[in-house]
Structure 1
Amino acid sequence: MMKKLYSALMTAFNDDGSINEAGIREMIRYNIDVNKIDGLYVGGSTGENFNMSHDQKEQVFKIAIDEANGAIDLIAQVGSLDLNESKYLAKFVTDLGYPKISAVTPFYYNYTFEQIKNYYNEIVKDVDNKLLIYSIPALTGVSLSMEQFGELFENPKIIGIKYTNADFYLLERVRNAFPDKLILSGFDEMLLPALALGVDGAIGSTYNLNAKRAKAEMIAFDDGDIDKARQLQHDSNDLITALIKNDIYPSLKLVFEEMGVHAGVTKAPMSKPTPEMRAGAKAIYENYLKEN
């Protein structure tokens, strides 16, 4: 079965930090109509979720499901340091019709595993939905072991992982221990090794811009053309390196602008675009994404 590719949906903001609804709709349309994406991960790190108010989160979830209108799969990231908010949002998006939810591991306070387990079980307790654990140790400081994933999977509503972790030894162990669980790779720059370890697909920010190349890489891998897949990963990593050097979150939006998609700006305390950033984004588009 062909592996699934999901874009991590960005949130378009206006200069004052309010939601730019038209921009969000444009990005979703581009993902559906041009990228032919399999799904969107809504409300994650790329969506600047942790910079948003509760009302803004609700607004984005409503816009995304309305614009997608059943055309693709949607995953709503509802995790929050406020467990009551997570539970509320889990019910909110389930009522809207999201077929899957996800939640980042609770972070900052060095929670025990028992506290983390309680958090996940509470989020899904009162909703008829399926949950993906969002594991991103580089940003949360929370690393789960294979045994801990196994304990979480004892809850039948917890169906898999958004695995944004550079520990590929752990990925191999988890993949083999839980062959029926859904594992979606979260590091765009490591798509090829993740495919080699048997992930079911990938979720990433750069797929908003680079879905065509990522899909070609997946096809080359499935066809056994590893040299082609490696070259495509190399080309993607050149793009990713350039984005990181140019300040990745605002740059993703600036490159989208170069592609004719109005993506708005990032929300403070993230950077506002500078003339240098705009020039860098134009060069990224010209060098890595513009088709001859």
Structure 2
Amino acid sequence: MKKLYSALMTAFNEDGTVNEKGVRAMVRYNIDVNHIDGLYVGGSTGEAFMLNQDEKKAIFKAVIDEADGAIDLIAQVGGLNLIESKELAKYVTDLGYKTISAVTPFYYNFSFEQIKHYYNEIVKDVDTQLIIYSIPALTGVSLSIDQFAELFENPKVIGIKYTNADFYLLERCRQAFPDKLILSGFDEMMLPALALNVDGAIGSTFNLNAKKAKEEIAAFEAGDLTKALQLQKESNDYITDLLQNDLYPTIKLIFKELGVDAGYCKAPMSKPNPEMIAGAKAICEKYFK
């Protein structure tokens, strides 16, 4: 069966410091309630690009300690500071992470040669496999088939976290790289990604919606497209409600409704207000109670 990964959130205290207890509580929920296959740690959903190096290290350590080998873990170590990315790659490898990931370097319109150097440098000194994190809508970086092929020349680069609405490119990648790992990154597009034979999915909404997502995968693999379409529709209704109520703070508020202290988001993300809290309660009641 194709694997389902939650993109793990980071719990923060109201003052913006990391709430390690809340991080551990979300790891436990994903293992004990969601029965998730793995966690993608330190990505966009984890608000990682607003964290300093010590905060990232504390989160990576708390997650691997709490998971204790029960599930797959992928550590996203990429960013704009290559020295720090290399340091994190070594740190998580020493902790016991078997797989790392790195977002394409962004903002400065790097050339492909610079991007290739970045990936090769991150894995050069560690005995770890790497998944490219491709998310053009946020980075502005779109990689071509030929460029992915060049990155895959490094045997440590094993796959793509494909968070991209270009499904023509996805199909071309799947055909060109049948032995590489491709994980879909858009929760709302999981079904068409499954149809193009991805190896699984990673997403923020799976922190709460993993059961339905797993049912959808099972229905698709059983050939029951009608059921799979209905489940994707139901998931997309839920995703629409989350987006209209402010995605990340709302997921954390629903966690709280379910007895998990997921804390706050880090500024400049929103703090809960009465309207948002009421909306989160309504979403929780509608989908999870």
Q: Into which bin does the TM-score normalised by the smaller protein fall? A: over 0.9
Moved over 3 A (4+): none
Task: Give the C-alpha shift of residue 53 in structure 1.
Answer: 1.1
Please give the secondary structure, in 1, of the residue aligned with 2:237. Answer: helix
C-alpha displacement of 1:153:
0.2
Q: Secondary structure at the match of 1:131?
A: strand
Task: Tell me whether 279-288 or 223-232 shows the greater mean CA deviation.
Answer: 279-288
Letter in 2 for 1:17: G
Specify the alignment match of 2:221 in structure 1. Answer: 222
The match for 1:13 is 12
Which residue in 2 is equivalent to 1:26? Answer: 25
Q: Which residue of 1 aligns with 2:49?
A: 50
- 1:137-286 pair list within 5 angstroms: 137-286=136-285
Cα deviation for residue 249 of structure 1 reads 1.0
Give the Cα separation in 2 of the matches to 1:64 and 1:272.
24
**1: distance between equivalents of 2:275 and 2:41?**
29
Q: Distance in 2 between matches of 1:35 and 1:42?
A: 16
Distance between the aligned counterparts of 1:23 and 1:249, measured in 2?
15
**Which amino acid is the alignment partner of residue 29 of structure 1?**
R
TM-score, length of structure 2 as denominator length: 0.99
Other-structure match for 2:67? 68
Gaps of 5+ in 2: none
What is the identity, as a one-letter code, of the residue corresponding to 2:258? M
Give a deviation string over 1:29-59, Cα, whole Å, max 9, x none.
0000010000000000000000111110000
- Name the SS for the 1:127 alignment partner: coil
SS in 2 for 1:221: helix
Per-residue CA deviations over 1:109-166 (Å, capped at 9, x if unaligned) read 0000000000000000000000000000010000000110000000000000000000
Q: Which one-letter code corresponds to 2:152 in the other structure?
A: F
SS in 2 for 1:40: strand
Does residue 104 (structure 1) correspond to residue 142 (structure 2)? The answer is: no
Instruction: Look up the equivalent residue of 1:222 and give its one-letter code.
Output: E
Query: How far 1:107 sits from its partner (Å)?
Result: 0.2
Identity of aligned residues (%): 75
Query: 1:218 is paired with a residue of what secondary structure?
Result: helix
What are the equivalent positions in structure 2 for 1:83-102 lying under 5 Å apart?
83-102=82-101
Determine the C-alpha separation between the residues in 2 that align with 1:246 and 1:210. Answer: 16
The DSSP-based 3-state class of the residue aligned with 1:249 is helix
Equivalent-residue separation in structure 1 for 2:17 and 2:151 (angstroms): 36
1:115 and 1:25 map into 2 onto residues whose CA distance is 36
Amino acid at match of 2:135: I
CA RMSD of superposed structures (Å): 0.5
Question: Could you tell me how far apart the structure 1 residues matched to 2:120 and 2:259 are?
Answer: 43
- 1:289 Cα deviation after fit: 2.2
Task: Please give the alpha-carbon distance, in whole angstroms, between the structure 1 residues aligned to 2:157 and 2:255.
Answer: 34
User: Once the 2 structures are TM-superposed, how far is the Cα of residue 209 of structure 1 from its aligned partner?
Assistant: 0.3
Indicate the SS of the match to 2:75. Answer: strand
| TM-fit CA distance, 1:199 | 0.3
Give the Cα–Cα distance (whole angstroms) in 1 for the partners of residues 94 and 266 of structure 2: 28
2:12 counterpart SS class: coil
TM normalised by structure 1 equals: 0.98
1:286 offset after TM fit, Å? 1.0
Q: CA offset at residue 255 of structure 1?
A: 1.0
> How many residue pairs get matched?
289
Measured in 1, the distance between the counterparts of 2:248 and 2:206 equals 13
| Aligned counterpart, 1:4 | 3
SS in 1 for 2:102: strand
Alignment deviations for residues 176-206 of structure 1 (CA, whole Å, 9 cap, x no partner): 1000000000000000000000000000000
Is 1:36 matched up with 2:2? Answer: no
- Paired with 1:33 and 1:75, the residues of 2 have a C-alpha distance of 19
Cα distance in 2 for residues equivalent to 1:188 and 1:44? 15
Alignment partner of 1:136 is 2:135: yes
CA distance in 2, matches of 1:56, 1:4: 28
1:260 to partner: Cα distance: 1.3
